[in-house]
Structure 1
């Protein structure tokens, strides 16, 4: 892939810093001192799942997706390069060479100087992108409870009933109850309930009967190799697209440019909407922007946006679309809420050491670095509050969520909380802020 030089910088090497904007929700993002290593994938699978799959970063370089900003550290303005014009989102690289910093890109970019440091530059850039791309109106995002971190993929309709009763008993301020992964028979077979789960339709009725909004998790562009969809409709898949390996199976990509696949996708969301779900957590949606052979010859990012439009048309403008594992810039104008970091976990350090992977440190670093996007492009989602006994450093994670302006979601089994955990959950269940917020930058690790 060709990268052309677009600028060079003289700097104070002791003070210069670079901001890398990651490609999607789970991609590490942050500010690094020139010469310090930035996070890179620990495995080829992580490159697919959490980074920009088709644009790995050469050793000794920094890379921002759609934008890269440099504070030269000499008192001069921050210099920010960002993509311009139609077409795909460019990658922007920085490398040190012969005492200078060289910037290159694989697509059209423009340079903009900003005074006031990197934080001010990022806010100014986000405002400019919003003016150009037109995000959806920022709407109130009330707190929710999510099944994932308590019940994982073994959740049942009965578990949801239990949590509804506990929410009522403790008078918790929960607006939406989100049924996460585990209800479906297969990845891609969204309208077939997993044996032992119960019924999504009955679950939605139960949630609504309790006076709450019903939410559901879907990975709309993934097709698992073990699914009925994969077996019966191989012609609906993007040729040559490898979406990784999860759920003990290879993952393929639904080709939303194929008329029958598009009709299927719309039908899934129409049915879920008819069942009563109004909050849709769209996960692993990086898959929709992967390159490959499609029925229609369009850019992968255009195919991704087509898929989001199909979903929006199916569920209506009042429904909430909640992106996760999502390419950030192409999602502007399509989602109401966006996960801005990797998954949290009951532990602090990601087990592989790769901070694209689940862990409180991973979630905090990326979410904090992207706080400037909140209430400019969407409502940020830093991920759920988990504060039950046994969660490592639960006080620190709760304090981070408390300082964020974004979505508040609880995800403990409420019956597992001690007095401190219940009181903290109660305190943190507040609506998201309606205006941009700022968390002081934390040094990347």
Structure 2
């Protein structure tokens, strides 16, 4: 639902020194501080607008926009000012800053509260602390199969079909962890284990037994983790064919689309439907019973899309209730890592959160779109969301990529060291050279 923008404040600024922090809608949405004459990062196309930004929102040229919060350093020595949602979990207003010479004009489409502080990160951190979220528990170290076994330039985001590791790949890396003496707590099977998005309990041809892998991991003294995109449904899945009533609809009766992370439109699971809710519960209870206790849930913003649902609740309530179903199914001890999630509505629901787009072996994101994979994009947004770390959850900057073919691998490792947070390895471990092995061991050990 769109609301009109109304004026909030007109702030005197030094146009040459002022900085404005835009907060993006979800994990992949660009977030960071800009000079007033800068061009902020915007979606490259319609698919990116849906899958990497706040859907249905077009920002006018020459205007800065934050989702749920926006901060301004006037640059003239006066305090930094922050405007933020009074209830960020349930309602996320859009805020705009329009430069007008010596003044910055602030507007919002719903009520906001104002805060002040000495600098942008400090005022954001103070606001986050004031929400009273319990401190996150210590994060495990992780090895994840996603990055090293993708095909295509963009991996999951850039290929039509799922790609990923095989069961034999998992076993190879499991042996290598012991051989290389790497302090890895969790072995996480990423995208590609499932037959289709939505058919989570049906294996793809790459895997023989999910339970068998979990048992092998645990036999070596490590924990088993697994990736899902719980709110995405592939049009070609058994779920879509058998249960079209479980899918979110548009106002005209069509099926809601969650963008094109696979090169084709994907549907959205309506977790307010009792059948869909029971299915989602069964999926996560089954995975938990098979021995998995670390869950990476991805593309979560799909669960907060506008649409017609079985139960007429607002999208953010539907989203939070959907995550609550997952948490209830996996239990309080399991580790829950969010990704592609609407940031503010996720407060209090996760142990860790991906705070930027995916990193990649290359620096520049495709088409210059900072919601797409690339080290530049992951560094920009990951550093700007440092204020969330330890206050909402453990920040997840994405995996260390330390194999020789990775561009500027030293710089990416330095970014991970500087920001702290969840430490994960994303390489085929046998592809690491001595520098890669040493750096992976050091970062996973918590060394600086």
Moved more, 73-82 or 422-431: 422-431
Higher mean displacement: 181-190 or 237-246: 237-246
Aligned residue among 10, 22, 25 for 1:23: 25
- Structure 2: state its 5+ residue gaps: 151-162, 251-255
TM-score normalised to structure 2 length? 0.93
Any idea what SS the aligned residue of 2:173 has?
helix
Secondary structure of the structure 2 residue equivalent to 1:149: coil
**Cα shift at 1:73:** 0.9
When structure 1 is superposed on structure 2, of 83-92 and 216-225 the one drifting more is 83-92
TM-score (norm 1): 0.94
- CA RMSD between the two structures: 1.4
Match of 1:143 among 141, 146, 164: 141
Unpaired segments ≥5 residues, structure 1: 434-445
**Structure 2 partner of 1:56:** 58
Does residue 386 of the first structure (1) align with residue 389 of the second (2)? Answer: no
CA separation of 1:386/1:98 partners in 2, compared to 1, >3 Å: closer, same or farther? Answer: closer
1:126 maps to which of 122, 125, 128: 128
CA distance in 2, matches of 1:393, 1:22: 26
Conservation of the 8 A alpha-carbon contact between 1:185 and 1:194: yes
Give the corresponding residue for 2:164. Answer: 154
- Residue 185 in structure 1 maps to residue 205 in structure 2: no
How many residues are paired up? Answer: 428
> Is 219-228 or 105-114 further displaced after alignment?
105-114
Q: Secondary structure at the match of 1:145?
A: strand
Secondary structure (helix, strand or coil) at the match of 1:161 reads helix
Distance in 1 separating the partners of 2:325 and 2:248: 17
Which range moves more in the overlay, 275-284 or 97-106? 97-106
The match for 1:216 is 226
CA drift of 1:430 comes to 2.7
1:360 aligns with 2:370: no
Partner of 2:160: none
Query: Offset at 1:401?
Result: 1.1
348, 351, 355: which one pairs with 1:333?
348
Judging changes above 3 Å, is the alpha-carbon distance between structure 1 residues 248 and 62 closer, same or farther for their aligned structure 2 residues? closer
CA distance in 1, matches of 2:63, 2:208: 50
Asked if structure 2 preserves the Cα contact closer than 8 Å seen for 1:284 and 1:324, the reply is: yes
Change (3 A) 1:421 1:306: same
* Contact 1:143–1:431 (CA under 8 A) maintained in structure 2: no
- TM-fit CA distance, 1:389: 1.2
2:7–2:108 contact (8 Å) kept in structure 1: yes
> Match for residue 203 of structure 1?
213
**Runs of 4 or more above 3 Å deviation:** none
Distance in 1 separating the partners of 2:81 and 2:97: 12
Corresponding residue number in structure 2 for 1:251: 266
